[in-house]
Amino acid sequence: MVLEDVELLWKELWDVWDLRAFIILSLLLQTFLTLFASLRKRMPNNSIIIPLWSAYLLADWAANVAVGLISNTKGNTSGAAGDNEDLLAFWATFLMVHLGGPDTITAFAVEDNELWLRHLLALIVQSLAALYLFLQSLPGNKLYIPTMLMFFVGIIKYSERVRSLYLASLVSLRDSIQRDPDPGADFAMIMDEYMNNEINQIQVQIDEDPDKEIESDDEEAYNCALTELQMIQHAYHYFNISKGFIVDSILNIDQRNRSQQLFRITSPEQASRVIEVELSFMYEFLYTKVKVVHCKLGYFCRFVSFSSLVIALVIFCSENKQGYQGFDVGITYVLLLGAIVLDIIAIIMLLFSNWTIIALSRLPAGIKSDGKSLRAKTLGFLLTFKRGGVTSDLRNRELLDCDRI
């Protein structure tokens, strides 16, 4: 009898708190991944890998389970619904934001990128499910504007994830690095000319590497120590070359010569630094949203999504919440504030990344010589921040005058 009472009590508690528990769990997993996913490229040990792997797998599962619970709860006044039909529809669209995942991780292994079609199908199914739950709450939904805003934010976030996976897939990589074939030197013609000259007793000499051409201004640049900006630019240049190795591409002669020239002249410490930044570019390209966010469309989508979150929070704060359960209102505030804070963290990471430095270095130079342009000042601040200290004005000018590659 006692056991039956315990089971009944547990069932009643689970019916009331299961949805809320999974929503809170989903938010906690998103927060953990946002804050700690980037540690994987710096600390490759099991104490970091296992928790991140578990959180990565559980994040999608928790959000999907929560959406399923909302579907089952709709119309069930004895469960979590009651007078909270509007909040349930809002939560359903909000969970799409969680399914889009944080900027810091889209895939845990290279093979995960090949599943972009599966995530595209999941995007369509989850969008239809959230739209269905939203339409069910009409016409009496007092939160229809915040719900629609969150639906659009969820579409943006999930689409960013799908596109990131696609761009890092083998098919997309192979298409992006296709270049005109470079057969190199025509050795048959060279040998024919050599034999003819030998027959005619004409002295000839064959260069060991006839295709090796290094411009003089490049040599002058390489003969001095590379600045921080130059190292980041060189790393980005070699990243665009070396990502072809993932799909078994090979270097052409010009790329090989330029790579060798850089590492012959620079010091071992600077060469190691270039490789370190290059690997960082590679990691972020394969496992994060960086290639989708760092473009004009990405900046626009990030502005729209963040603005929508703020507007949704303002509207929800001003809405009359009579009839809603107090705890559910608190969960909604936590979801909105948590999403805004996580977006701010993502924007800060975006601004202080090497990708932003590359993007700024490609803008029109403006006033270069004295470093007074907005672009120059911004680059100087970012580079100083990344080095973790304050440098002299002379050193800053050296960094800002280097716009190579």
Mean pLDDT of the chain: 79
DSSP sequence for 161-213: HHHHHHHTSHHHHHHHT---------HHHHHHHHHHHHHTT------S-TT--
* Residue owning tokens 């620079």: 266
Here the tokens at position 98 are: 């969680």
The more confidently predicted of residues 216 and 271 is 271
* pLDDT, position 403: 39
Q: Sign of the C-alpha dihedral, residues 75, 80, 85, 88?
A: negative
* pLDDT, position 240: 86
Mean pLDDT calculated for residue range 244-259: 76
The more confidently predicted of residues 121 and 202 is 121
Number of domains in the chain: 1
C-alpha to C-alpha distance for 148 and 131, rounded to whole angstroms? 9
Residue 299 lies in a domain: no
The more confidently predicted of residues 1 and 235 is 235
Is 369's pLDDT higher than 50?
no
The more confidently predicted of residues 307 and 373 is 307
Here the tokens at position 152 are: 């659009």
Q: How confident is the model at residue 404 (pLDDT cuts 50, 70, 90)?
A: very low
Is 402's pLDDT higher than 50?
no
Residue 72 lies in a domain: yes
* Residue ranges making up the domain that contains 65: 2-175
Is 12's pLDDT higher than 60?
yes
Residue 69 lies in a domain: yes
338, 27 contact by CB (below 8 A): yes
Looking at 143-147, 264-268, 271-275, which range is the least confident one? 264-268
Residue 184 lies in a domain: no
Which pTM value belongs to this model? 0.79
For 147-161, give the secondary structure using H, E and C.
Answer: HHHHHHHHHHHHHHH
Residue 356 lies in a domain: no
Residue 292 lies in a domain: no
**Portion of the chain with pLDDT greater than 70, in percent:** 74
Q: How confident is the model at residue 243 (pLDDT cuts 50, 70, 90)?
A: confident
Is 401's pLDDT higher than 60?
no
Q: What DSSP character marks residue 205?
A: -
C-alpha to C-alpha distance for 48 and 40, rounded to whole angstroms? 7
Is 116's pLDDT higher than 90?
yes
Looking at 110-119, 169-178, 330-339, which range is the least confident one? 169-178
* pLDDT, position 213: 45
For 282-318, write each residue's pLDDT tens digit. Answer: 999 999 999 899 888 999 999 999 999 999 999 999 9
10 Å CB burial of residue 246 (0-12, 13-18, 19+) is middle
Residue 121 lies in a domain: yes
Here the tokens at position 79 are: 């469960």
* pLDDT, position 27: 94
Mean pLDDT calculated for residue range 83-96: 87
Torsion, Cα of 45, 50, 53, 54 (10° steps): -160
For 171-224, write each residue's pLDDT tens digit. Answer: 888 887 765 555 555 556 666 676 777 776 666 555 544 444 444 444 444 455
C-alpha to C-alpha distance for 182 and 185, rounded to whole angstroms? 9
Residue 236 lies in a domain: no
